[in-house]
Structure 1
Amino acid sequence: MPRSRRAGRVRGSLLALTLLAPALLGAAPDGSGETISLTGNGPGRRLDVTLTQVVDPASPAGPEPSGAGRLIATRFRLENTGTAVYQDFPAPAAHLLDTAGQRYTGDDVPTTAGPVFPETVTLDPGGTAEGFITFRLPADAEPAAVQFALDTGLADDVGQWSLPLP
């Protein structure tokens, strides 16, 4: 294999470790309602994102989802501070990291914690929305951090909050 390919894999691994290390070491923002300004990949795409509540464990609002060891519901407040209309899917834009380094993608499973975001959220500049994003984890997983990024989680700018919230 050419040397440049091996180096790329190392860089990718180092990047992943760099993203996970703050969560695993507890050095990320404390999540106490902190608002993080995030930019998307397109011009004028900017949100202020606040993690306001974590419900662990969360009870399903309907029949028990199959394969769910435990549900964790996270409540976010989104405010469009950009100049473009924000239209995105909040659930897959969020990820929960556990202390073992596993990453779980958000889901729109309804819980008794409160209303989930609609599948698509559309906000004009200055508009706000609040809702829950749910994560399915094994019963023994210990949550370490929650992340959120625009563009269905694909934007380069990622907000991160340490768990548990104080």
Structure 2
Amino acid sequence: MRRTTTAIAAVGLLFALAACQDTITTEPSKSSAAEAPAKSSAPAAEPEPPKAKVAKVGDTISLKGNEDGEKVDAVLKKWVTDAKPADDFSEPQPGTKWVAAQFELTNTGSTPYADSPSNGAQVADGDGQRFQATFAEITAGPAMTSSAKVPPGEKALGWIVFEVPKASKISTVQFALNSGFAEQTGQWAVS
């Protein structure tokens, strides 16, 4: 009986794990600029299939966390390709530079959003190299809090800094809840 119960539990866990799928969302839920349809005097041609929208700076992506009621509207507000240190004591390592993303995270869920946002952020260059956040203060503005506790309806705003090789051209910024362990990740194009 004990082996049967263990086997049933193991099969149930296997199905639960198979049902979990990570997704990367690149389509904005809210865009920074309204897109007006183009007017044409040319004869009507076959309609083109709609192009997939790609989130860019200023766009909002709605993200869900791992717990019931965790939901955040994440906006990549600004992007800086050559971030400057805010003091005379910090600087990027030789051969590297700092890039930075300013995020606005609005808790649209029903429970508090508690996280270390920089843990869930990364950037990628055109070669596919990915870089995690680093702790740095920059002249562009205040850093994102390392311990966000945001009630429903409130926001967290701040800069997340990344140290990358000087030759890297960053093409995308990603953000996910739960220190990057949420199944849903938002992605913005920055090149």
The bucket for the TM-score relative to the shorter chain is 0.7 to 0.9
TM-score normalised per structure 2: 0.69
- Equivalence for 2:148: 121
Are the counterparts in 2 of residues 147 and 159 from structure 1 also a CA contact under 8 Å?
A: yes
Q: Does 1:141 align with 2:168?
A: yes
Q: Could you tell me whether the CA contact under 8 Å between 1:28 and 1:160 is conserved in 2? A: no
What is the one-letter code of the residue matched to 2:57? S
For 1:97, the equivalent position in structure 2 comes to 124
The total of aligned residue pairs comes to 143
How much has 1:148 moved relative to structure 2? 0.3
Instruction: Give 1:163 shift.
Output: 1.0
Alignment of 1:11-160 (within 5 A): 29-62=54-87, 63=89, 64-67=91-94, 69-160=96-187
Partner SS, residue 180 of structure 2: coil
Give, in whole Å, the separation in 1 of the partners of 2:143 and 2:169: 23
Distance between the aligned counterparts of 2:110 and 2:93, measured in 1? Answer: 41
Alignment deviations for residues 147-166 of structure 1 (CA, whole Å, 9 cap, x no partner): 000000111100000013xx
Q: Secondary structure at the match of 1:111?
A: coil
Q: Which runs of 5+ in 1 are unaligned?
A: 1-14, 20-26
Deviation at 1:65, TM superposition (A): 3.8
| Structure having the higher Rg | 2
**Given residue 98 of structure 2, which amino acid in structure 1 is its aligned partner?**
L
SS of the counterpart of 2:82? Answer: strand
Greater RCO, CA 8 A, separation 6+: 1
Q: Which runs of 5+ in 2 are unaligned?
A: 1-20, 25-51
Identity of aligned residues (%): 37
Q: Could you report, residue by residue, the CA deviation over 1:101-149 in whole angstroms, capped at 9, with x for unpaired residues?
A: 0111122311111100121111000010110000100000010100000
Length-normalised TM-score, structure 1: 0.79
Q: What secondary structure, in the 3-state scheme, does the structure 1 residue paired with 2:68 have?
A: coil
